[in-house]
């Protein structure tokens, strides 16, 4: 594919993302680039992204090496361009937070649908957060940046990756990282959209890991409540009730108690059974 590189969209610690134009179609692309000799992580990301096809996941357009004018060889991941930036950008443009809860619910539903698909493909994203979700030309939220993602298996994953403020307790303790930890991160992302900042934004990463890994700290700082408080949540209406349910269940301290998250925002019925709230159809 022939393309011309344009302005820089973002620069991280490992790669640079620029806008580009495809010569054949005039389609705008987002190109993530890094020097070839340091591109193992980006090649892994390209392999995972190339296996995915969902309206709620950033589109894969290809991957190739290129010799730059200065002689440096780069590896380039070509993706769909999202003109409205990330959810973090959108939050900032809305005065630091979304005033309309309906927008938070809309974006959250789309993130959850994207995650449901990703998980069905045997992949855990491992770094869900506002800055890794982009808004497309149609205004849809799409999950992006699969640099920390991994194929899910039954073995122990020795390498923990992601952003401390969005990590689930079991991840912060170095125990397990997988689909359930993605669900927790959705709850953190909702907090980011509603309040304008993620949990523990101003703390050092090591301090965040310690506090997230401690159940008492999570209970105090993440607004997590016991499942019995779902009865109080039943008194809420509409979008407020949806968001309350989502955070209640996505941020459950016991990872196996985190519900099938798409159902949380699809309006299920709830009932008490054996002292626990369960979902019934």
CA–CA distance from 238 to each of 46, 235, 262, 267 (Å)? Answer: 39, 10, 16, 10
Percentage of the residues of the chain whose pLDDT score is greater than 70: 74
- At residue 237, the pLDDT reads 43
Annotated active-site residue 276? The verdict is no
13: Cβ–Cβ under 8 A, 6 or more apart, which residues? none
- At residue 240, the pLDDT reads 54
- At residue 77, the pLDDT reads 98
Lowest mean pLDDT among 131-140, 257-266, 267-276: 267-276
Q: Are 148 and 77 in contact (CB under 8 A)?
A: no
Q: What end-to-end distance do the CA atoms of the chain give, in Å?
A: 49
Residues belonging to the binding site are: 32
pLDDT beyond 90 at 121? yes
121: Cβ–Cβ under 8 A, 6 or more apart, which residues? 51, 52
- At residue 238, the pLDDT reads 47
pLDDT tens by residue, 201-238: 667 888 888 888 876 655 444 444 433 344 444 443 44
Q: Is 221 exposed, middle or buried (0-12, 13-18, 19+ CB in 10 A)?
A: middle
Mean pLDDT (the chain) is: 79
Active-site option among 26, 89, 127, 244:
127
- At residue 221, the pLDDT reads 45
123: Cβ–Cβ under 8 A, 6 or more apart, which residues? 48, 51, 52, 146, 149, 150, 151, 152
pLDDT beyond 50 at 3? yes
- pLDDT mean over 56-71: 94
Residue ranges, CATH 3.30.200.20, the chain: 3-80
- At residue 147, the pLDDT reads 92
> Tokens for 257?
């108690």
85-224 — its CATH code? 1.10.510.10
177: Cβ–Cβ under 8 A, 6 or more apart, which residues? 124, 126, 150, 157, 160, 161, 162, 168, 170, 171
The domain made up of 3-80 has a fold known as: Phosphorylase Kinase; domain 1 (3.30.200)
Residues belonging to the binding site for ATP are: 32
> Tokens for 20?
């580009």
């Amino acid at each position: 594919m022939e393309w011309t590189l344009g302005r820089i969209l973002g620069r991280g610690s490992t790669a640079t993302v620029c806008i580009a134009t495809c010569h054949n179609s005039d389609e705008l692309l987002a190109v993530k680039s890094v020097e070839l000799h340091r591109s193992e992580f980006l090649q892994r990301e390209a392999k995972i992204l190339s296996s995915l096809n969902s309206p709620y996941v950033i589109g894969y357009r290809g991957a190739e090496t290129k010799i730059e004018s200065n002689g440096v060889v780069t590896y380039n991941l070509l993706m769909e361009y999202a003109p409205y930036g990330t959810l973090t950008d959108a939050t900032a443009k809305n005065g630091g937070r979304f005033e309309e809860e309906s927008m938070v619910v809309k974006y959250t539903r789309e993130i959850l649908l994207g995650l449901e698909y990703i998980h069905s493909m045997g992949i855990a994203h491992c770094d869900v957060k506002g800055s890794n979700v982009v808004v497309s030309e149609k205004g849809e939220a799409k999950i992006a940046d699969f640099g920390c993602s991994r194929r899910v298996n039954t073995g122990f994953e020795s390498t923990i990756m992601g952003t401390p403020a969005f990590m689930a307790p079991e991840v912060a303790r170095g125990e397990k990282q997988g689909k359930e930890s993605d669900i927790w991160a959705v709850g953190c992302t909702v907090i980011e959209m509603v309040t304008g900042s993620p949990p523990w934004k101003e703390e050092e990463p090591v301090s965040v890991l310690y506090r997230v890994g401690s159940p008492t700290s999570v209970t105090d700082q993440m607004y997590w409540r016991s499942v019995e408080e779902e009865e109080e949540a039943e008194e809420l209406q509409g979008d407020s009730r949806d968001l309350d349910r989502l955070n209640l269940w996505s941020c459950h301290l016991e990872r196996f108690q985190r519900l099938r998250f798409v159902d949380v925002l699809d309006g299920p019925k709830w009932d008490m059974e054996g002292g626990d709230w369960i979902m019934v159809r």
